[in-house]
């Protein structure tokens, strides 16, 4: 491990030195369908954690990281031959919930550092880490002692806007008057029964 890689690893360990409140993860075969599985895990996990407002960003980030991991170590053919699956690699997708953020991480067995390509309008590939850079407060990678590399991104949890009673505010739409007014009755028999009922209370 080079000095630069050691520095990155130390920064990552410092940032994640606090123990996560909870974690969610999945090991997948490094094939194209792993990406959709990673997105489903992100959607399920964030909804379970009460973070539905972060689902779209989480899906995008994990999708890009998982795609890069599959490209680096896996089989890209959607219908591979059995012979192409002999040394099939695995990737691991994980989510770590902290007090104010969620770490999205993907492990693969390739130690090659991730590269952010210059993004142009006509570029078909290589936008993954650019998207991660835009959506995450921070991202980086490190080389774990078990081998391979872990690329991670930190999604900050947006604060709720709370009411004076400590409850999250609900967004209010524009007010509109009721479409129909309630009918008013003037039937003497009905009014007499209501008055009798009130006296009996």
pLDDT digits (tens, 9 = 90+) for 116-143: 765 544 444 446 688 899 999 999 999 9
Tokens 């007010």 — which residue? Answer: 175
Question: Can you tell me whether residue 124 is helix, strand or coil?
Answer: coil
Res 125: pLDDT = 47
- What is the percent of the chain where pLDDT is above 90? 52
pTM of the shown model: 0.68
Q: Which residues contact 167 (CB under 8 A, 6 or more apart)?
A: none
Res 122: pLDDT = 45
Q: Which residues contact 139 (CB under 8 A, 6 or more apart)?
A: 129, 132, 133, 151, 152, 153, 154
Res 191: pLDDT = 77
CB atoms within 10 A of CB 58: 23
Cα–Cα dist 25/141, whole Å: 18
pLDDT digits (tens, 9 = 90+) for 72-86: 998 877 776 766 677
Q: Please say whether the beta carbons of 9 and 150 come within 8 A.
A: no
Res 27: pLDDT = 96
Which of these, 116, 113, 109, lies nearest to 92 by C-alpha position? 109
pLDDT along the chain (201 residues), means of 10: 49 62 95 94 96 95 95 80 76 96 96 74 57 93 95 92 58 61 66 78 69
CA angle 5, 89, 9 (to 5 degrees): 15
Res 83: pLDDT = 67
């Amino acid at each position: 491990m080079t000095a630069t890689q050691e520095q990155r690893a130390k920064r990552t360990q410092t940032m994640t030195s606090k123990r996560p409140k909870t974690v969610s993860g999945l090991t997948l075969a490094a094939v194209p369908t792993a990406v959709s599985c990673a997105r489903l895990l992100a959607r399920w996990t964030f909804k379970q954690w009460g973070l539905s407002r972060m689902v779209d960003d989480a899906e995008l980030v994990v999708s890009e990281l998982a795609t890069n991991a599959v490209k680096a170590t896996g089989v890209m053919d959607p219908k591979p031959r059995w012979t192409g699956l002999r040394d099939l690699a695995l990737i691991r997708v994980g989510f770590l919930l902290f007090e104010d953020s969620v770490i999205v991480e993907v492990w693969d067995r390739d130690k090659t550092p991730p590269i952010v390509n210059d993004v142009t309008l006509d570029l078909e590939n290589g936008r993954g880490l650019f998207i991660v850079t835009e959506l995450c407060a921070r991202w980086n990678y490190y080389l774990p002692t078990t081998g391979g590399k872990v690329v991670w991104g930190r999604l900050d949890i947006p604060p709720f806007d709370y009411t004076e009673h400590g409850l999250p505010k609900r967004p209010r739409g524009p007010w509109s008057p009721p479409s129909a007014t309630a009918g008013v009755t003037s039937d003497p028999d009905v009014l007499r029964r209501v008055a009798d009922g009130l006296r009996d209370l």
